[in-house]
Structure 1
Amino acid sequence: MSFIFLIGVFFSSWLGSALLGIGEWIIKRLPLVKHIYSASKQVSAAINPENEASKAFQECVIIRHPRKGEYAIAFITGRTVLQMGSQDTKLNTVYVPTNHVYVGDIFLIEDKDVMHTNLSVREGLEIVVSCGMAIPPNLITVPRP
């Protein structure tokens, strides 16, 4: 226990954070590892509810998934426009966590198929991490912000 505490104190100091920065710089130079490390770092920053600076999860929503009559908690991570000839379709990039390793499915869904809720991103993450036990007794759909 003392060892873990001392390691934490060391890496929170100037010298420890400099060594951590050098280690990260080395990892980012390795051919295959840099892609895996960068992706995992982005995911861990995105799912951290304490990280207010990260807006990776813009909104917690509900989508119809996987079958009719079934719904899933999802997070909007971006928006895009699909151009098909003269017709443009506005799509939401939606992340649906499917297990507790935070690997999930990514869908492009039209806004009409997304139910915007009164849940904050933090509340949505709590629901996912608690295996659904933290879901409030009533969910309210709200107009798109």
Structure 2
Amino acid sequence: MIESDPDDDTPKSPPTSPNSSTRKACYAVLQSWVSKKFMTGCVVLFPVAITFFTTWWFITFVDSFFSPLYARLGINIFGLGFVSSLIFILFVGLFASSWTGSTVFWLGEWFIKKMPFVKHIYSASKQISAAISPDQSTTAFKEVAIIRHPRIGEYAIGFITSSVVLQMNGYEELCSVYVPTNHLYIGDVFLINSEDIIRPNLSIREAIEIIVSVGMTMPQNGFHLKAYTRGNAIETRADLMLSFLSKSSTRR
């Protein structure tokens, strides 16, 4: 028989009452509810805040080009420099579209490309701007492409930028496919047989939105794909669509 030590001064926790357990349960439920609603508010306000601050920064940045000139003239109207900058950009576009403007810009470009360090910065900047150019003859991204990458059964969205003919035992047409990250200006370039490229019915703008949004704007009904040849097998448009949708649903 074990007897309790009368000199044992170890503190003992008081018995838990039903009211205390109820309060803890209510507190846990309230904490979970508040956390969930708080996160919902953050999710809703985050894109609004990013859009607001980005727009405000853009307006302030563009307005700063002409606002000092108006300030010297004693004209202090917020937004007037922004409107003037937009009008100036429009006139530059009109001038560059003319024969005289294209000649002037060609001479300026020739001069810049003769400068040792500046020519590399200008070339990289021009390639990025050419990707979103409305002029189809100068657009860097010619067509949207879906390629099998990095493993069999996985696909990547890219852009066809150019094509080249490879001469080995015969003629093989290779397409240069640029597969970007969500930064768009960073990615990899692959040379792929033109017959192995899946060409979805997507515009360049829609493909850029899919990449920048990390796939959240992916069409839920699938892509309208063209038939293509891979080896000796020819897959139809419906088979390609079902194959792509099944792979996408499996990853989810």
| TM-score strictly above 0.5 | yes
Q: Which has the larger radius of gyration?
A: 2
Listed as ranges, the gaps of 5+ residues in structure 1 are none
* Residue in 2 that maps onto 1:129: 212
Aligned mates of 1:126, 1:95 — CA distance in 2: 16
| Contact 1:58 1:76 (C-alpha < 8 Å) held by counterparts | yes
| Contact 1:49 1:125 (C-alpha < 8 Å) held by counterparts | no
- By percentage of residues, which structure has more strand? 1
- TM superposition shift of 1:140: 2.5
Which region of structure 1 is more displaced relative to structure 2, 89-98 or 31-40? Answer: 31-40
1:33 equivalent to 2:115? Answer no
Provide the TM-score with structure 1 as the length reference: 0.75
| Contact 2:182 2:212 (C-alpha < 8 Å) held by counterparts | no
Q: 2:141 aligns with which of 50, 57, 62?
A: 57
> Percent identical across equivalent pairs?
49
Aligned mates of 2:198, 2:89 — CA distance in 1: 43
Q: 1:92 aligns with which of 170, 175, 197?
A: 175
Q: What is the 5 A alignment of 1:3-42? A: 3-9=81-87, 27-42=112-127
Which region of structure 1 is more displaced relative to structure 2, 50-59 or 128-137? Answer: 50-59
**Counterpart of 1:115 in 2: which secondary structure?**
coil
Amino acid at match of 2:201: N
Aligned mates of 1:13, 1:125 — CA distance in 2: 28
| Contact 1:57 1:75 (C-alpha < 8 Å) held by counterparts | yes
| Contact 2:184 2:211 (C-alpha < 8 Å) held by counterparts | no
- By percentage of residues, which structure has more helix? 2
Which region of structure 1 is more displaced relative to structure 2, 49-58 or 98-107? Answer: 49-58
1:120 equivalent to 2:211? Answer no
**Counterpart of 2:198 in 1: which secondary structure?**
strand
| Contact 2:182 2:213 (C-alpha < 8 Å) held by counterparts | no
Listed as ranges, the gaps of 5+ residues in structure 2 are 1-78, 96-100, 229-252
Amino acid at match of 1:118: N
Alpha carbons of structure 1 residues 8 and 27: separation in structure 2 relative to 1, 3 Å: farther
Provide the TM-score with structure 2 as the length reference: 0.46
